[in-house]
Amino acid sequence: MVKKAKIVGFKRNHSRTYNNYCILALKEKDLGRFIGRKIFWITQTGKRIKGKILRIHGKDLLMARFNKGLPGNAIGSEIDVY
């Protein structure tokens, strides 16, 4: 069953942005069951960049790590959660 999540930002600190770590918003109650699931972001050319959900970020967000860094236009787009 495929769910849709939205990329709301990247992991960052005062001086650096980590574009291979993303913060995801998912409209579900129990976010703990999504930890360890695979995710895919599809580029405009059709390539798939693979990632994995790592942990819960705050109350209602998730932190995920991608194999490659994502571009800035990925923020606001939807991804597939498997």
> What pLDDT score was predicted for residue 29?
87
Q: Which residues span the domain enclosing 49?
A: 3-81
Q: Please give the tally of structural domains in the chain.
A: 1
Q: List the beta strands (DSSP E) in the chain.
A: 3-12, 17-25, 38-42, 48-57, 61-66, 78-81
Helix-, strand-, coil-residue percentages of the chain, each rounded to 5: 10, 55, 40
Bridge partners of 42, per DSSP, are 48
In angstroms, the CA 4 to CA 26 distance is: 7
**Mean pLDDT for back-to-back runs of 10 residues, the chain (82 residues):** 92 95 93 94 92 95 95 93 92
Q: What is the CATH number of the domain that holds 65?
A: 2.40.10.190
Bridge partners of 39, per DSSP, are 51, 81
- Report the predicted TM-score, pTM, of the whole model to 2 decimal places: 0.88
Bridge partners of 11, per DSSP, are 18
Bridge partners of 5, per DSSP, are 79
> What pLDDT score was predicted for residue 28?
87
